[in-house]
A and B are shown apart, each in its own frame.
Chain A
Amino acid sequence: MRNDQNELYYFVLNHVQECVIRYDVQGCISYCNDRVFELTGYTEKELIGSYVGELFKNTFEIIDGHIQLVKMYENMENIETDLYRKNMTCFPVEINIASTVCSYGEEVYVCTAVDMTRYKESIRKVEETKIQMQESMKARDAFVANVTHELRTPVNGIKGHAELLMEQEEDFQKSSYVRMILDCCTTMEGIINNILDFSKLEAGKFQLDEKPFSFYALMSKLEKMFTMLTVRKGLRFMMNMAQEIPDALIGDELRLTQILNNLVSNAVKFTEQGYVGVEITLNQRIDDEVELFIMVVDTGIGLSPEDKDKLFKSFSQVDASITRKYGGTGLGLSITKELVNMMRGKVWADGEKGKGSSFSFTVRLKLQDTPEANSNDANLRAWMTTNKLNKIAGEQDLMYEFGSDINKRELKKYFEKLSISMDMDSWQKAENFATTLKQLMKGGSKELQRAVFKMEMAIRKSDCDKAKDNIAKVKEMLLSQLGKEGFEI
């Protein structure tokens, strides 16, 4: 019975993953399991009676005739060392040592060792991959930075010469072509700058250039810029600012402009009619800092819940779907988000499909430390618009209700705008007005809509005579459908 048990124990011992070695207080080996022979190439004869330190070099030492782990391994739970083969090559192992006093009074040690070769190998591979990845990221960043710089040069050349041409060209048709080239250059420059900013932000190389500036001077400059931007598309622009906001602040003027510009241009892009508004309020004042809350609202296409999640991710617009829902590189908003984060703020989007959207963000700016800076100069704020944004909200729905008074008023207005822009030969504007008119007449009969579509196509061709014919037809149909009373177009 006892012998059976022993046999079983040895069988188990010889078939475990670990090497099992028993030795005495002087390190003299008295037993090894088969695994040791298998892995080291030694025979039983060679190992029994030899010193355990021959197998694990630089691991043990004998002090006062007593075997101990070298200082480096003292008190360590998992000891990582090497196991040496007969041919003096070695492989990494993790060892564990237990000691006990036998019934006959002798102290014995049992060392178990696990082969770590494969584990080490995979760790090394992971690290290698990590390094490779970092290197390729670096290479990519360098490439992007390089390419964008290289792209700028030819654009600069095109733009410069187009400007020269523009100055010399007197023929209206030709100069309008040149203007088109210049517009395309501006778009291209914008895209290149965005990619460059994005690659810098990604690489963490981006730094804000914080300097004292006049907040109100900046805002009035922006107001002019945004008004131009919106009016060009036939939209209204409004800016509202809380009077408590101090004027003398410290921050990165250029990047603040970039954030606002991104949001406002987006709003303009997605709004066919109505208005774009900017509202700025003071959130809080902490010590020498102010937190501003800035909201950009529009009456455009709005956002679906899925859009909201995707918006601020980079490249989210150039995702799998080919349909160009939003145009552009999809970098604008992710850059905006990064910039806002750098100004210790947050950005978020709100809105409903078809009911306009609003983008809000907060930024923290330092106050300038001068006595004048803190005085409240009323003149500075005199330019402020008196319009309240919410007053006009809600008009949007009525505008589209075919035949309503507001709808009629808008129709009249846009027909006027259309004919003026046609007279002035600004066809891009005319196209926008025609699109707005199409939307205003969405509720009309099928015949009317077809006529409007034909009118729109004629305008896109800049075919003045045909467009005028078509406009006349549309007007005639409109009058017969909506009645002539109080409605002159």
Chain B
Amino acid sequence: MRILIAEDDFASRRVILKFLSVYGECDVTVDGMEAIDAFQMALDENEPYDLICLDIMMPIMDGYQSLKNIREIEEERNIPEDKKVKVIMTTALNEEKNVKKAYELGCTDYLAKPIDMDKLKEILVKLGLI
């Protein structure tokens, strides 16, 4: 499995990277713009990501915008529904309106910080990734 992590905080990045490395090959980006670049690069090289863990509050471009762009790129390239990347929002913003907005933009699941690793594992199982 190929995983992309977008997270600007060094410490949080470390933790989630350590956890997910067990399940697949991880790449790490630190802002929303980079996440899109990495996503596109992976598509170009025919090695698309299976999972993206996307933070919302990030510099340069936030997670919402990034998610929107990712879904748009998928539309443009006519990627079938079942091949679309699974996106889990990993963020400290846990208010209802934030969660709603993320789902409207097309996220697959939502995980509030501090991240409970058991829950993350549950989601991975639920999504059929592990």
List A residues at the B interface (Cβ < 8 Å): 180, 183-184, 321-325, 327, 428, 431, 450, 453, 457, 460-461
Asked whether any CB of chain A lies closer than 8 Å to the CB of B113, the reply is no
Given contacts A180-B10, A323-B57, A460-B17, 16 further A-B contacts (CB under 8 A): A180-B14, A321-B62, A322-B56, A322-B57, A322-B62, A323-B59, A323-B60, A323-B65, A324-B57, A324-B59, A325-B59, A327-B8, A453-B34, A457-B28, A460-B29, A461-B17
> Contacts A322-B93, A453-B37, A461-B26; is A183 near B61 (CB within 8 Å)?
no
Say whether B57 contacts A453, CB under 8 Å. no
- Rounded to whole Å, the gap between the CB of B130 and the closest CB of chain A is 19
Asked whether any CB of chain A lies closer than 8 Å to the CB of B125, the reply is no
Say whether B58 contacts A323, CB under 8 Å. yes
Say whether B41 contacts A428, CB under 8 Å. no
Collect the chain B residues with CB atoms within 8 Å of residue A321's CB: 62
Query: A-B pairs with the 7 shortest C-beta distances?
Result: A460-B28, A324-B57, A323-B62, A322-B62, A457-B27, A180-B11, A184-B11
Q: How far is the CA of A361 from the CA of B21 in the complex (A)?
A: 48
Collect the chain A residues with CB atoms within 8 Å of residue B27's CB: 457, 461
Q: Which of B11, B37, B41, B64 contacts A322 (CB 8 A)?
A: B64
Say whether B38 contacts A453, CB under 8 Å. yes
- Rounded to whole Å, the gap between the CB of A28 and the closest CB of chain B is 72
Asked whether any CB of chain A lies closer than 8 Å to the CB of B124, the reply is no
User: Quick one: closest A residue to B8, CB to CB?
Assistant: A324
Q: How far is the CA of A197 from the CA of B41 in the complex (A)?
A: 46
Say whether A324 contacts B62, CB under 8 Å. yes
Say whether A460 contacts B93, CB under 8 Å. no
Say whether B41 contacts A323, CB under 8 Å. no
Collect the chain A residues with CB atoms within 8 Å of residue B26's CB: 461
User: Quick one: closest B residue to A323, CB to CB?
Assistant: B62
- Interface CB pairs A-B, < 8 A, 27: A180-B10, A180-B14, A183-B11, A321-B62, A322-B56, A322-B64, A323-B57, A323-B58, A323-B61, A324-B8, A324-B57, A324-B59, A324-B62, A325-B59, A327-B59, A428-B10, A431-B10, A450-B41, A453-B34, A453-B37, A453-B38, A453-B41, A457-B28, A460-B30, A461-B17, A461-B21, A461-B28
Q: How far is the CA of A428 from the CA of B56 in the complex (A)?
A: 22
Collect the chain B residues with CB atoms within 8 Å of residue A325's CB: 59
- Rounded to whole Å, the gap between the CB of A260 and the closest CB of chain B is 25
Asked whether any CB of chain A lies closer than 8 Å to the CB of B13, the reply is yes
B30-74 contacts to A (CB < 8 Å) = 30, 34, 37-38, 41, 56-62, 64-65
User: Quick one: closest B residue to A438, CB to CB?
Assistant: B34
Q: How far is the CA of A319 from the CA of B15 in the complex (A)?
A: 28
Say whether A457 contacts B62, CB under 8 Å. no
- Rounded to whole Å, the gap between the CB of A20 and the closest CB of chain B is 59
Q: How far is the CA of A355 from the CA of B59 in the complex (A)?
A: 19
User: Quick one: closest A residue to B44, CB to CB?
Assistant: A450
Q: How far is the CA of A325 from the CA of B93 in the complex (A)?
A: 16
Q: How far is the CA of A262 from the CA of B43 in the complex (A)?
A: 43
Q: How far is the CA of A322 from the CA of B11 in the complex (A)?
A: 20
User: Quick one: closest A residue to B26, CB to CB?
Assistant: A461
User: Quick one: closest A residue to B29, CB to CB?
Assistant: A457
Q: How far is the CA of A47 from the CA of B79 in the complex (A)?
A: 93
Collect the chain B residues with CB atoms within 8 Å of residue A461's CB: 17, 21, 26-28
Q: How far is the CA of A428 from the CA of B28 in the complex (A)?
A: 13
Per-position 1/0 for B73-85, Cβ under 8 A of A: 0000000000000
Q: How far is the CA of A457 from the CA of B65 in the complex (A)?
A: 21
Collect the chain A residues with CB atoms within 8 Å of residue B62's CB: 321-324
- Rounded to whole Å, the gap between the CB of B76 and the closest CB of chain A is 19
Q: How far is the CA of A428 from the CA of B58 in the complex (A)?
A: 18
User: Quick one: closest A residue to B14, CB to CB?
Assistant: A180
Q: How far is the CA of A271 from the CA of B29 in the complex (A)?
A: 19
Collect the chain B residues with CB atoms within 8 Å of residue A322's CB: 56-57, 62, 64, 93
- Rounded to whole Å, the gap between the CB of A301 and the closest CB of chain B is 10
Residue of A180, A325, A453, A460 ringed by the most chain B CB atoms within 10 A: A460
- Rounded to whole Å, the gap between the CB of A125 and the closest CB of chain B is 33
Q: How far is the CA of A206 from the CA of B107 in the complex (A)?
A: 46
Q: How far is the CA of A180 from the CA of B41 in the complex (A)?
A: 31
User: Quick one: closest A residue to B41, CB to CB?
Assistant: A450
- Rounded to whole Å, the gap between the CB of B11 and the closest CB of chain A is 5
Residue of B8, B10, B13, B64 ringed by the most chain A CB atoms within 10 A: B10
Collect the chain A residues with CB atoms within 8 Å of residue B11's CB: 180, 183-184
Q: How far is the CA of A428 from the CA of B60 in the complex (A)?
A: 20
User: Quick one: closest B residue to A183, CB to CB?
Assistant: B11
Collect the chain A residues with CB atoms within 8 Å of residue B29's CB: 457, 460
Collect the chain A residues with CB atoms within 8 Å of residue B17's CB: 460-461
- Rounded to whole Å, the gap between the CB of A141 and the closest CB of chain B is 25
- Rounded to whole Å, the gap between the CB of A445 and the closest CB of chain B is 15
